[in-house]
Structure 1
């Protein structure tokens, strides 16, 4: 039964796939570790953590990417986005290039949105073309990022790629006792991992300017 325990200590977990060019700012990808009172958090947001971790793992199996890819498994998102805020405060002085987040369940990605500098248009085109065979269309609206990367995006005006997932059933499960592992469709989750791996392979090996350089 949910109880209000007052302020408690939480924490972030950070890991990296090291890049070969230390002069290039890293890409940060995020999810959150905590779940809502009533469910196990399989959809919100263990799936997101599984997706970004699997994608980073696949990236690590190949040649080292040019840019470091930093994984942020954020704590205390549900009670105030404290982990994302703490990350933004701790790393605001360290330049970042681009941010992504997975926090909308495990169902298939159907659209990709971008917020990149004009000079990175060829990268955008390349990613969109690579995702098209997965049934992912290119969006017209600018990417906005997610809650846990919001603070670092606001601090540095980062480039963003959003992989938009099918949310048809998300709010039937979100913050309910039904948020359990049996609701995760392995095939749809696998499509997420392929899409994320595809994007990371491209952005982490892009040596051009990515950060927008202006705060949103």
Structure 2
């Protein structure tokens, strides 16, 4: 986006513009990838899994700090906080997905490997590290009272409900969501995101520590509710 903005400014000044474009993309064939999985075991192993995470791979020009090292760090830190506070009712499964950028292959592989397991709800962080400002849901209508409890837990952090039930999704979990598993989406401020996304500017200095901490607090609050709520959130009817 910053390069496009610069081009627009030059053109508005009536200047002649010459663009030199070097294309280095190539098909390299199949390569080995994988998902990294860790768990915070719940007290009731039959109560279903709370699946959270982000993706490990990044676009090659930058370092992947906002896409998606931040998401991996945020969800990992929140799971650690829940674990340190005591054992939750439901198991929290943290997944660092592989091969998201080239086709959501990590999410599809997880779906096929774990489709027989009971998943209570899923959530993914894959939109940088700026503050969470709203939450969205894709849950069964019967679970909406529980979502009000979630809203009460998130409100002190300045987070409001947004959209309609059924809007929540995520990149890697979109493949697993097709099985009818409920989803909660913690929506981040995307004002800066596409200035950095998939560019050489995606580096650690762009991550704001205060906003990163707000993300961890939001995810910790969300997990404290959904991992201990005895109510079922699904299955979700197909969209």
* TM-score in terms of structure 2 length: 0.86
Within 5 Å, give how 1:20-35 maps onto structure 2: 20-35=43-58
Q: What does residue 172 of structure 2 align with?
A: 148
| In 2: Cα distance, 1:132 partner to 1:213 partner | 25
Deviation per CA, 1:155-181: give whole Å up to 9, x if none: 2x1111110000001000000000000
* Bigger mean CA deviation after superposition, 130-139 or 67-76: 130-139
| In 2: Cα distance, 1:207 partner to 1:30 partner | 22
| In 2: Cα distance, 1:170 partner to 1:211 partner | 32
Number of residue pairs the alignment of both structures matches: 215
Within 5 Å, give how 1:70-109 maps onto structure 2: 70-109=93-132
Query: Residue 14 of structure 1: SS of its match in structure 2?
Result: strand
| In 1: Cα distance, 2:238 partner to 2:57 partner | 28
Query: 4+ runs of 1 displaced by more than 6 Å?
Result: none
2:78 maps to 1:51: no
- Alignment equivalent of 2:217, drawn from 181, 185, 194: 194
User: Unpaired segments of 5 or more residues in structure 1?
Assistant: none
Deviation per CA, 1:92-116: give whole Å up to 9, x if none: 1112111100000000000011122
| In 1: Cα distance, 2:28 partner to 2:62 partner | 17
* TM-score in terms of structure 1 length: 0.95
- Largest Rg, 1 or 2: 2
User: Unpaired segments of 5 or more residues in structure 2?
Assistant: 1-23
Q: What does residue 177 of structure 1 align with?
A: 200
Query: Residue 238 of structure 2: SS of its match in structure 1?
Result: coil
